[in-house]
Amino acid sequence: MAKLGIKMIKASTLVEVIVAMVVIMVVFVLALGIYTGVLRSSPSFRQQEMRVKTENVLEQSVMERNWEDEVLVSDSIELQKTVAPYEQDTSLLLITVKAVERGKEIGLSRKIVKK
């Protein structure tokens, strides 16, 4: 009979494999925590979109010299524009545009302009 040459292969023990898996899991949990923290701290696309819309209404009002209060509706969002005198100076106006969706403010822009 022929002898089979069986070589002993070095392998990891079950304990070593479990420890390695735990270390990898801890690294993934930490990375996921950092990732969600970054996502929460950055402004959402919706908020940025509303900021652009409110600033466009402000710029259009200044260009047209429209100093009247208005409520504009874009999609399901109300853009509420208010014009008020700025503090003690009667030659200045404070224009405020709020983006409101279902009663919740999601964007706000303000600008001080000369009459």
Do 24 and 64 belong to one domain? no
Q: What pLDDT does 11 receive?
A: 76
pTM of this structure: 0.61
Residue 2 lies in a domain: no
pLDDT in tens, 57-109: 999 998 998 889 999 898 888 999 999 998 888 889 999 999 988 888 888 89
Higher pLDDT pick, 74 / 26: 26
Whether residue 17 lies inside any domain: the answer is yes
107, 98 Cβ separation under 8 angstroms = yes
In a domain, 100, yes or no: yes
**Total tally of structural domains belonging to the chain:** 2
How far apart are alpha carbons 37 and 44 in whole angstroms?
Answer: 13
Average pLDDT over the chain, rounded to an integer = 87
**pLDDT at position 23:** 97
Return the number of other C-beta atoms located less than 10 Å from residue 27's C-beta: 10
Residue 73: give the domain boundaries: 45-114
**What is the per-residue pLDDT for 94?**
92
State the CATH number of the domain containing residue 53: 3.10.450
Banded model confidence at residue 26, pLDDT cuts 50, 70, 90: very high
According to DSSP, the β-strands at 77-86 and 89-101 are antiparallel
Task: Dihedral sign for Cα 95, 80, 63, 44, please.
Answer: positive
The answer on 31 and 66 residing in a single domain is: no
